[in-house]
Structure 1
Protein backbone atom coordinates (compact mmCIF):
# COMPACT_ATOMS: atom_id res chain seq x y z
CA UNK A 1 0.00 0.00 0.00
CA UNK A 2 1.14 3.51 -0.78
CA UNK A 3 -0.29 6.47 1.08
CA UNK A 4 -0.33 10.24 0.73
CA UNK A 5 -2.40 12.36 3.10
CA UNK A 6 -5.89 10.80 3.04
CA UNK A 7 -5.25 8.69 -0.11
CA UNK A 8 -4.37 4.97 -0.10
CA UNK A 9 -3.35 2.98 -3.21
CA UNK A 10 -3.02 -0.80 -3.34
CA UNK A 11 -2.89 -3.52 -5.97
CA UNK A 12 -5.72 -5.97 -6.61
CA UNK A 13 -5.69 -9.01 -8.87
CA UNK A 14 -8.58 -10.18 -11.06
CA UNK A 15 -7.65 -13.38 -12.87
CA UNK A 16 -4.29 -12.72 -14.50
CA UNK A 17 -4.80 -8.94 -14.56
CA UNK A 18 -3.80 -6.37 -11.97
CA UNK A 19 -5.33 -3.02 -11.11
CA UNK A 20 -4.68 -0.22 -8.69
CA UNK A 21 -7.41 0.58 -6.20
CA UNK A 22 -7.53 4.03 -4.65
CA UNK A 23 -9.21 4.85 -1.36
CA UNK A 24 -9.76 8.35 -0.08
CA UNK A 25 -10.22 8.33 3.68
CA UNK A 26 -11.87 11.76 3.32
CA UNK A 27 -14.13 10.73 0.40
CA UNK A 28 -17.86 11.43 0.28
CA UNK A 29 -18.86 7.73 0.46
CA UNK A 30 -16.76 7.12 3.55
CA UNK A 31 -17.97 10.28 5.27
CA UNK A 32 -21.60 9.31 4.57
CA UNK A 33 -21.07 5.77 5.89
CA UNK A 34 -22.68 5.07 9.27
CA UNK A 35 -22.12 1.36 9.73
CA UNK A 36 -23.58 -1.89 8.48
CA UNK A 37 -26.74 -3.46 9.80
CA UNK A 38 -26.61 -7.23 10.29
CA UNK A 39 -28.85 -10.11 11.19
CA UNK A 40 -28.73 -11.29 14.83
CA UNK A 41 -26.15 -14.07 15.24
CA UNK A 42 -27.80 -17.48 15.06
CA UNK A 43 -26.04 -20.80 15.68
CA UNK A 44 -28.24 -22.37 12.96
CA UNK A 45 -26.06 -20.56 10.40
CA UNK A 46 -22.74 -21.95 11.66
CA UNK A 47 -22.66 -25.10 9.55
CA UNK A 48 -20.07 -27.80 9.02
CA UNK A 49 -19.89 -28.58 5.31
CA UNK A 50 -18.37 -31.69 3.79
CA UNK A 51 -15.28 -30.80 1.77
CA UNK A 52 -15.17 -32.45 -1.66
CA UNK A 53 -11.80 -31.78 -3.35
CA UNK A 54 -11.83 -30.77 -7.03
CA UNK A 55 -8.13 -30.90 -7.84
CA UNK A 56 -7.28 -28.87 -10.93
CA UNK A 57 -10.81 -27.52 -11.43
CA UNK A 58 -11.12 -24.00 -12.82
CA UNK A 59 -14.28 -21.93 -12.59
CA UNK A 60 -15.21 -18.88 -14.62
CA UNK A 61 -15.69 -15.84 -12.43
CA UNK A 62 -17.58 -12.85 -13.78
CA UNK A 63 -17.13 -9.54 -12.04
CA UNK A 64 -19.65 -6.74 -11.67
CA UNK A 65 -18.30 -5.02 -14.81
CA UNK A 66 -19.02 -8.15 -16.91
CA UNK A 67 -15.37 -9.18 -17.30
CA UNK A 68 -14.56 -12.84 -16.77
CA UNK A 69 -11.50 -14.74 -15.65
CA UNK A 70 -10.57 -18.26 -14.59
CA UNK A 71 -9.88 -19.14 -10.97
CA UNK A 72 -8.87 -22.36 -9.23
CA UNK A 73 -11.59 -24.07 -7.23
CA UNK A 74 -9.98 -26.32 -4.64
CA UNK A 75 -13.27 -27.99 -3.76
CA UNK A 76 -16.97 -28.05 -3.14
CA UNK A 77 -18.55 -27.37 0.24
CA UNK A 78 -21.64 -29.55 0.69
CA UNK A 79 -24.04 -28.74 3.54
CA UNK A 80 -27.65 -29.03 4.59
CA UNK A 81 -30.26 -26.46 5.55
CA UNK A 82 -33.62 -27.70 6.78
CA UNK A 83 -32.94 -31.19 5.40
CA UNK A 84 -31.99 -30.03 1.89
CA UNK A 85 -28.48 -30.38 0.50
CA UNK A 86 -26.62 -27.47 -1.11
CA UNK A 87 -23.13 -27.04 -2.55
CA UNK A 88 -20.84 -24.05 -2.91
CA UNK A 89 -17.73 -23.80 -5.08
CA UNK A 90 -14.85 -22.64 -2.92
CA UNK A 91 -12.12 -20.34 -4.15
CA UNK A 92 -8.65 -19.84 -2.71
CA UNK A 93 -8.54 -17.94 0.57
CA UNK A 94 -6.06 -15.78 2.42
CA UNK A 95 -3.73 -18.74 2.99
CA UNK A 96 -3.32 -21.97 1.00
CA UNK A 97 -5.42 -23.78 3.64
CA UNK A 98 -8.31 -21.29 3.71
CA UNK A 99 -11.19 -20.83 1.30
CA UNK A 100 -13.08 -17.81 -0.01
CA UNK A 101 -16.70 -18.12 -1.12
CA UNK A 102 -18.80 -15.69 -3.13
CA UNK A 103 -22.44 -16.69 -2.73
CA UNK A 104 -25.91 -15.47 -3.46
CA UNK A 105 -29.12 -16.53 -1.75
CA UNK A 106 -32.82 -15.74 -1.62
CA UNK A 107 -32.23 -12.65 0.55
CA UNK A 108 -30.35 -10.84 -2.24
CA UNK A 109 -32.09 -7.70 -3.48
CA UNK A 110 -34.39 -7.61 -0.45
CA UNK A 111 -32.35 -7.54 2.77
CA UNK A 112 -28.85 -8.30 1.45
CA UNK A 113 -26.74 -6.96 -1.40
CA UNK A 114 -28.05 -8.03 -4.82
CA UNK A 115 -24.60 -8.99 -6.10
CA UNK A 116 -24.10 -11.56 -3.34
CA UNK A 117 -21.92 -11.69 -0.26
CA UNK A 118 -18.48 -12.97 0.69
CA UNK A 119 -17.53 -15.63 3.25
CA UNK A 120 -14.07 -16.65 4.47
CA UNK A 121 -13.28 -20.03 6.00
CA UNK A 122 -10.39 -21.39 8.00
CA UNK A 123 -9.57 -24.49 5.95
CA UNK A 124 -10.50 -28.12 6.45
CA UNK A 125 -11.24 -29.39 9.96
CA UNK A 126 -9.66 -32.70 11.13
CA UNK A 127 -12.95 -34.50 10.42
CA UNK A 128 -12.92 -33.42 6.74
CA UNK A 129 -15.49 -30.66 7.13
CA UNK A 130 -15.21 -26.93 6.59
CA UNK A 131 -16.99 -24.53 8.94
CA UNK A 132 -19.26 -22.12 7.10
CA UNK A 133 -20.21 -19.42 9.58
CA UNK A 134 -22.77 -17.45 7.59
CA UNK A 135 -23.06 -15.09 10.60
CA UNK A 136 -19.76 -13.71 9.29
CA UNK A 137 -20.97 -13.24 5.69
CA UNK A 138 -20.02 -9.77 4.54
CA UNK A 139 -20.79 -7.33 1.75
CA UNK A 140 -18.30 -6.95 -1.10
CA UNK A 141 -16.67 -3.57 -1.78
CA UNK A 142 -19.06 -2.94 -4.69
CA UNK A 143 -21.89 -2.65 -2.14
CA UNK A 144 -20.26 0.58 -0.99
CA UNK A 145 -18.91 2.21 -4.13
CA UNK A 146 -19.74 2.11 -7.84
CA UNK A 147 -15.99 2.02 -8.58
CA UNK A 148 -15.26 -1.51 -7.30
CA UNK A 149 -14.88 -4.60 -9.52
CA UNK A 150 -16.25 -7.36 -7.30
CA UNK A 151 -16.61 -10.99 -8.35
CA UNK A 152 -20.18 -12.25 -8.59
CA UNK A 153 -21.38 -15.68 -7.44
CA UNK A 154 -21.04 -18.45 -10.00
CA UNK A 155 -24.29 -20.05 -11.13
CA UNK A 156 -23.57 -22.93 -8.75
CA UNK A 157 -23.15 -20.50 -5.84
CA UNK A 158 -26.56 -18.88 -6.22
CA UNK A 159 -28.49 -20.71 -3.52
CA UNK A 160 -32.29 -21.00 -3.76
CA UNK A 161 -32.55 -20.81 0.04
CA UNK A 162 -32.65 -17.68 2.21
CA UNK A 163 -29.67 -17.27 4.52
CA UNK A 164 -30.70 -14.52 6.97
CA UNK A 165 -27.26 -14.25 8.57
CA UNK A 166 -24.33 -11.85 8.34
CA UNK A 167 -24.38 -8.36 6.92
CA UNK A 168 -27.49 -6.73 5.49
CA UNK A 169 -27.62 -4.09 2.77
CA UNK A 170 -29.40 -0.76 2.87
CA UNK A 171 -28.43 0.81 -0.44
CA UNK A 172 -25.07 2.36 0.45
CA UNK A 173 -24.52 3.67 -3.09
Structure 2
Protein backbone atom coordinates (compact mmCIF):
# COMPACT_ATOMS: atom_id res chain seq x y z
CA UNK A 1 0.00 0.00 0.00
CA UNK A 2 2.81 2.38 0.93
CA UNK A 3 4.62 1.57 -2.30
CA UNK A 4 1.49 2.28 -4.35
CA UNK A 5 1.02 5.58 -2.52
CA UNK A 6 4.64 6.53 -3.23
CA UNK A 7 4.23 5.73 -6.95
CA UNK A 8 1.07 7.85 -7.06
CA UNK A 9 2.81 10.76 -5.36
CA UNK A 10 5.77 10.56 -7.75
CA UNK A 11 3.42 10.48 -10.74
CA UNK A 12 1.48 13.51 -9.50
CA UNK A 13 4.73 15.36 -8.77
CA UNK A 14 6.00 14.61 -12.28
CA UNK A 15 2.73 15.81 -13.82
CA UNK A 16 2.83 19.04 -11.82
CA UNK A 17 6.43 19.69 -12.85
CA UNK A 18 5.57 19.03 -16.51
CA UNK A 19 2.61 21.41 -16.34
CA UNK A 20 4.74 24.04 -14.62
CA UNK A 21 7.32 23.77 -17.41
CA UNK A 22 4.62 24.04 -20.08
CA UNK A 23 3.32 27.17 -18.36
CA UNK A 24 6.80 28.72 -18.18
CA UNK A 25 7.34 28.21 -21.93
CA UNK A 26 3.87 29.62 -22.66
CA UNK A 27 4.75 32.73 -20.63
CA UNK A 28 8.09 33.02 -22.40
CA UNK A 29 6.36 32.94 -25.79
CA UNK A 30 3.80 35.56 -24.77
CA UNK A 31 6.64 37.87 -23.72
CA UNK A 32 8.40 37.11 -27.00
CA UNK A 33 5.33 38.22 -28.95
CA UNK A 34 5.00 41.35 -26.83
CA UNK A 35 8.57 42.36 -27.66
CA UNK A 36 7.63 42.64 -31.35
CA UNK A 37 5.03 45.26 -30.46
CA UNK A 38 7.41 47.16 -28.18
CA UNK A 39 10.29 47.36 -30.65
CA UNK A 40 10.50 50.25 -33.12
CA UNK A 41 12.50 48.11 -35.55
CA UNK A 42 10.09 45.15 -35.37
CA UNK A 43 9.19 43.39 -38.65
CA UNK A 44 5.79 42.38 -37.24
CA UNK A 45 2.55 44.16 -36.38
CA UNK A 46 -0.08 42.86 -33.99
CA UNK A 47 -2.04 41.24 -36.82
CA UNK A 48 1.07 39.23 -37.79
CA UNK A 49 1.50 37.57 -34.40
CA UNK A 50 -1.10 34.91 -35.15
CA UNK A 51 1.25 33.58 -37.86
CA UNK A 52 4.02 32.78 -35.35
CA UNK A 53 4.32 29.00 -34.99
CA UNK A 54 6.11 26.86 -32.43
CA UNK A 55 6.80 23.24 -31.59
CA UNK A 56 5.02 21.92 -28.53
CA UNK A 57 7.23 22.40 -25.44
CA UNK A 58 9.47 19.39 -24.89
CA UNK A 59 11.57 19.24 -21.73
CA UNK A 60 13.99 16.80 -23.45
CA UNK A 61 15.35 19.80 -25.37
CA UNK A 62 16.24 21.56 -22.13
CA UNK A 63 19.83 20.40 -21.66
CA UNK A 64 22.53 20.80 -19.05
CA UNK A 65 25.74 22.07 -20.60
CA UNK A 66 29.36 22.23 -19.53
CA UNK A 67 30.80 25.64 -20.38
CA UNK A 68 34.43 26.27 -21.27
CA UNK A 69 35.41 29.91 -21.63
CA UNK A 70 37.63 30.83 -24.57
CA UNK A 71 41.02 32.38 -23.90
CA UNK A 72 43.15 34.79 -25.91
CA UNK A 73 40.41 35.33 -28.49
CA UNK A 74 40.35 38.01 -31.14
CA UNK A 75 37.29 39.67 -32.67
CA UNK A 76 36.12 38.38 -36.05
CA UNK A 77 33.53 39.43 -38.60
CA UNK A 78 30.45 37.22 -38.61
CA UNK A 79 28.74 37.03 -42.00
CA UNK A 80 25.18 38.31 -42.30
CA UNK A 81 22.30 37.92 -44.74
CA UNK A 82 22.86 41.42 -46.13
CA UNK A 83 26.57 40.92 -46.76
CA UNK A 84 27.48 43.34 -43.99
CA UNK A 85 29.88 42.17 -41.32
CA UNK A 86 29.23 42.27 -37.59
CA UNK A 87 32.02 42.05 -35.03
CA UNK A 88 31.87 39.24 -32.49
CA UNK A 89 34.30 37.22 -30.47
CA UNK A 90 34.03 33.63 -29.35
CA UNK A 91 33.10 33.73 -25.67
CA UNK A 92 33.23 29.98 -25.08
CA UNK A 93 31.93 26.51 -25.93
CA UNK A 94 28.93 24.61 -24.62
CA UNK A 95 29.19 20.80 -24.47
CA UNK A 96 26.07 18.70 -23.97
CA UNK A 97 24.27 15.50 -24.85
CA UNK A 98 21.14 15.41 -26.98
CA UNK A 99 19.42 12.44 -28.63
CA UNK A 100 22.20 10.24 -27.26
CA UNK A 101 24.94 12.22 -29.02
CA UNK A 102 27.70 14.47 -27.74
CA UNK A 103 27.38 17.97 -29.20
CA UNK A 104 28.98 21.39 -28.99
CA UNK A 105 27.88 24.93 -29.75
CA UNK A 106 30.02 28.04 -29.74
CA UNK A 107 28.83 31.03 -27.75
CA UNK A 108 29.53 34.50 -29.13
CA UNK A 109 29.56 38.02 -27.76
CA UNK A 110 28.82 41.12 -29.82
CA UNK A 111 31.34 43.93 -29.51
CA UNK A 112 28.73 46.59 -30.27
CA UNK A 113 26.14 45.25 -27.80
CA UNK A 114 28.76 45.04 -25.04
CA UNK A 115 28.83 48.85 -25.09
CA UNK A 116 25.08 49.09 -24.44
CA UNK A 117 24.27 48.76 -20.73
CA UNK A 118 21.03 46.87 -21.42
CA UNK A 119 22.88 44.17 -23.39
CA UNK A 120 26.32 44.18 -21.75
CA UNK A 121 25.86 40.59 -20.50
CA UNK A 122 24.20 39.32 -23.67
CA UNK A 123 25.51 36.08 -25.22
CA UNK A 124 24.53 34.91 -28.69
CA UNK A 125 24.16 31.34 -29.98
CA UNK A 126 23.23 31.15 -33.68
CA UNK A 127 22.75 27.59 -34.89
CA UNK A 128 21.47 25.45 -37.74
CA UNK A 129 20.03 21.94 -37.58
CA UNK A 130 18.34 19.28 -39.73
CA UNK A 131 14.91 20.95 -39.50
CA UNK A 132 16.03 24.08 -41.39
CA UNK A 133 14.19 24.57 -44.66
CA UNK A 134 11.53 22.06 -43.58
CA UNK A 135 9.76 22.89 -40.33
CA UNK A 136 12.04 25.78 -39.42
CA UNK A 137 13.55 28.82 -41.11
CA UNK A 138 16.22 27.88 -43.64
CA UNK A 139 18.70 30.45 -42.39
CA UNK A 140 18.90 28.95 -38.91
CA UNK A 141 17.72 30.08 -35.52
CA UNK A 142 19.10 31.82 -32.46
CA UNK A 143 19.36 31.28 -28.71
CA UNK A 144 20.30 33.85 -26.10
CA UNK A 145 21.98 33.63 -22.72
CA UNK A 146 23.52 36.08 -20.30
CA UNK A 147 26.93 35.79 -18.70
CA UNK A 148 25.19 35.56 -15.31
CA UNK A 149 23.35 32.39 -16.43
CA UNK A 150 26.65 30.53 -16.30
CA UNK A 151 27.37 29.20 -12.82
CA UNK A 152 30.36 27.02 -11.91
CA UNK A 153 31.11 26.36 -15.59
CA UNK A 154 27.65 25.02 -16.31
CA UNK A 155 24.46 26.41 -17.79
CA UNK A 156 21.04 25.20 -18.93
CA UNK A 157 20.34 25.63 -22.65
CA UNK A 158 16.67 25.44 -23.59
CA UNK A 159 16.01 24.87 -27.29
CA UNK A 160 12.32 25.46 -26.61
CA UNK A 161 13.33 29.13 -26.53
CA UNK A 162 14.99 29.05 -29.96
CA UNK A 163 13.75 31.96 -32.04
CA UNK A 164 13.88 33.18 -35.63
CA UNK A 165 15.99 36.07 -36.90
CA UNK A 166 14.09 39.08 -38.23
CA UNK A 167 14.99 37.92 -41.75
CA UNK A 168 12.52 35.06 -41.32
CA UNK A 169 9.69 37.60 -41.23
CA UNK A 170 10.69 40.34 -43.65
CA UNK A 171 13.34 41.49 -46.10
CA UNK A 172 15.66 44.40 -45.40
CA UNK A 173 17.32 43.14 -42.23
CA UNK A 174 20.93 42.14 -41.64
CA UNK A 175 20.87 38.83 -39.76
CA UNK A 176 23.98 36.95 -38.59
CA UNK A 177 24.47 33.64 -40.37
CA UNK A 178 25.29 30.72 -38.04
CA UNK A 179 28.97 29.78 -38.49
CA UNK A 180 29.70 26.24 -39.73
CA UNK A 181 30.91 25.13 -36.31
CA UNK A 182 27.37 25.72 -35.03
CA UNK A 183 25.66 23.45 -37.57
CA UNK A 184 24.08 20.49 -35.75
CA UNK A 185 23.50 17.25 -37.64
CA UNK A 186 20.35 16.33 -35.71
CA UNK A 187 16.90 17.88 -35.98
CA UNK A 188 16.01 20.23 -33.13
CA UNK A 189 12.24 19.88 -33.00
CA UNK A 190 11.81 22.58 -30.40
CA UNK A 191 11.33 26.33 -30.36
CA UNK A 192 10.07 28.50 -33.18
CA UNK A 193 8.97 27.10 -36.55
CA UNK A 194 8.74 28.86 -39.92
CA UNK A 195 6.62 31.99 -40.06
CA UNK A 196 3.15 31.13 -41.33
CA UNK A 197 2.83 34.15 -43.61
CA UNK A 198 4.65 34.62 -46.92
CA UNK A 199 6.72 37.80 -47.21
Pick from 43, 56, 67: which aligns with 2:59? 43
Find the aligned partners of 2:120 and 2:81 in 1 and give their Cα distance.
26
Q: Which has the higher helix share?
A: 2
Could you tell which deviates more after superposition, 161-170 or 66-75? Answer: 66-75
Alignment partners' CA distance in 1, 2:39 and 2:146: 28
Q: Does 1:112 align with 2:111?
A: no
CA contact (8 A) 2:52 2:196 kept: no
Give structure 1 stretches of 5+ with no counterpart: 1-7, 11-21
Asked if the contact 2:142/2:163 (under 8 Å) is kept, the reply is yes
5+ residue gaps in structure 2? Answer: 1-37, 111-117
Cα deviation, 1:126-159, whole Å, max 9, x if unaligned, reads 3311211100000111111111110010010111
Q: Out of 147-156 and 59-68, give the one that drifted further.
A: 59-68
Aligned pairs for 1:1-173 (under 5 A) are 30=45, 33=48, 34-57=50-73, 58-92=75-109, 95-123=119-147, 124-170=149-195, 172=197, 173=199
Q: Tell whether the 8 Å contact from 1:122 to 1:131 is kept in structure 2 after alignment.
A: no
Change (3 A) 1:125 1:106: same
Q: How many residues align?
A: 151
* TM-score normalised by L of structure 1: 0.76
Quote the RMSD (CA, aligned, Å): 2.5
Bigger share in strand: 1
Instruction: Call closer, same or farther: CA 1:110–1:60 in 2, change over 3 Å.
Output: same
1:16-47 C-alpha deviation (Å, 9 max, x unpaired): xxxxxx558xxxx6366133110011111111
Q: In structure 2, how many angstroms separate the alpha carbons of the residues matched to 1:31 and 1:133? A: 26
1:18 corresponds in structure 2 to: none
**How has the CA–CA distance of structure 1 residues 23 and 134 changed in structure 2, closer, same or farther, with 3 Å as cutoff?**
closer
